[in-house]
Homo-oligomer: A and B are copies of this chain.
Amino acid sequence: MTFALPAQDFRLCHANAAARIVIAVSPTETRMVMRALVYHGPGEKAWEDVPKPEVIADTDAIVRVDATTICGTDLHILKGDVPVVTDGRILGHEAVGTVESVGSGVKTVQAGDRVLVSCVSVCGTCRFCREGRSGQCLGGGGWILGYRIDGTQAEYVRVPFADNSTYPVPGGAADEDILMLADILPTGYEVGVLNGGVRPGDVVAVVGAGPVGLSAIMGASLFSPSHIVAVDLADSRLEAAKRFGADVVVNNGREDPLEVVRSLTGGLGADVAIEAVGVPATFELAVALSRPGGRIANIGVHGEPATLHLEEQWIRDITITTGLVDAYSTPTLLRLLASHHIDAGRFITHHFALDEIDEAYDVFARAADTGALKVVLSRAS
């Protein structure tokens, strides 16, 4: 998917602004050009001209990106933490767009359709896709956009398995709201709330009030827990947690979350504890916060092992889950958005044009200062 081109050729092609812009990808072949955010190794990225994607497999769709956003995972990749991602990869795995063309095998999507591009591509045929667990797809899908293949932070994106990996944008819905269903909302809902088995009346503790923790809080609210306790070190995030539905907030730099949770639960602990950070200490805290018989749902992306205190926990009937989003909840979340049970717009703190992506990354990376949750990058209309 990556390509290398002599700088000189490139300039020539790019200069050819008449009618349609094309790019030479080999001495005998030209391709149309587009702008995209390309990863060039740790710490290096550029908004630059690249060949516009074309249908490769018959189940592909080419989608013009009308809105995209930046995920915490993109920051990890940029730091070089994700060695699967190599020089030349276009980043991004979230988009709302307009279908430009589709492969011959695409049945339910056609040019002109406005679609949500999910962060999970779904082959639809492998064992895991058949079981609704497409995050583990064995047929070439799963999370691949902006990771194993080029992604959505571009003017156009090639979406594999388009029938199963896109969803029509409902009439009347705002692009930027739908965009929140590409990753952040299904991740918090599936990996946090549903894996955690939140039930009405529960006390739910959410460790970490960044975007994915806030998504878990919003998702947990759908089940009417009696209390949602948000735990974070940043007061600004705890303020956000309140807006998203937490009724108790704990700054664990100043307060002991164990004490707070125990005081709410007759000393027992949380029915459900959701880990939304991705470091050993927060996982261990989530386990400690849980009651006997409780559930701990890990959402965080971890880079190192955690300690599991089995000498305490073997007897406590706990259940720990991990998971990558499968996006099976997307239709449900679309219905909940339509019925105003979720307010996706609450995530959106900043707006940029697509070609302001460098600034957008900067604002998003400095979330502690800027208060950024999700930034929306929109195509100039």
Interface residues of A (CB under 8 A from B): 58-59, 104-105, 107-108, 124-125, 127-133, 135-136, 139, 163-164, 199-201, 221-224, 226-227, 247, 278, 280, 283, 292-293, 298, 300-311, 313-324, 328, 331-333, 335-336, 338-339, 341
Contact = CB atoms under 8 A, between A and B. Distances in A.
B332 A324 contact: no
29 contacts: A58-B104, A124-B124, A124-B164, A128-B292, A130-B328, A131-B293, A132-B132, A133-B293, A133-B317, A135-B315, A136-B293, A200-B223, A200-B332, A201-B333, A201-B336, A201-B341, A221-B224, A226-B338, A278-B314, A304-B311, A305-B307, A305-B311, A306-B307, A314-B322, A316-B324, A317-B323, A318-B321, A319-B319, A320-B320
A38 to B, nearest CB: 25
A205 to B, nearest CB: 15
A283 B338 CA distance: 30
B317 A136 contact: yes
A283 B310 contact: yes
B125 A124 contact: yes
Chain A at the B interface: SS class: loop
A293 B128 contact: yes
Contact of A332 (B104, B201, B283, B332): B201
A314 B320 CA distance: 11
A136 B269 CA distance: 13
A321 B308 CA distance: 12
B317 A319 contact: no
The 9 residue pairs across chains A and B that have the minimum distance between CB atoms? A302-B310, A105-B105, A226-B339, A201-B332, A124-B124, A222-B224, A201-B335, A308-B308, A320-B320
Nearest to A106: B105
Contacts of A226: 335-336, 338-339, 341
A311 B303 CA distance: 5
A105 B307 CA distance: 46
Given A223-B224, A321-B318, A331 B105 contact: no
Contacts of A278: 314
Contact of A298 (B105, B314, B331, B335): B314
Nearest to A292: B136
A264 B235 CA distance: 42
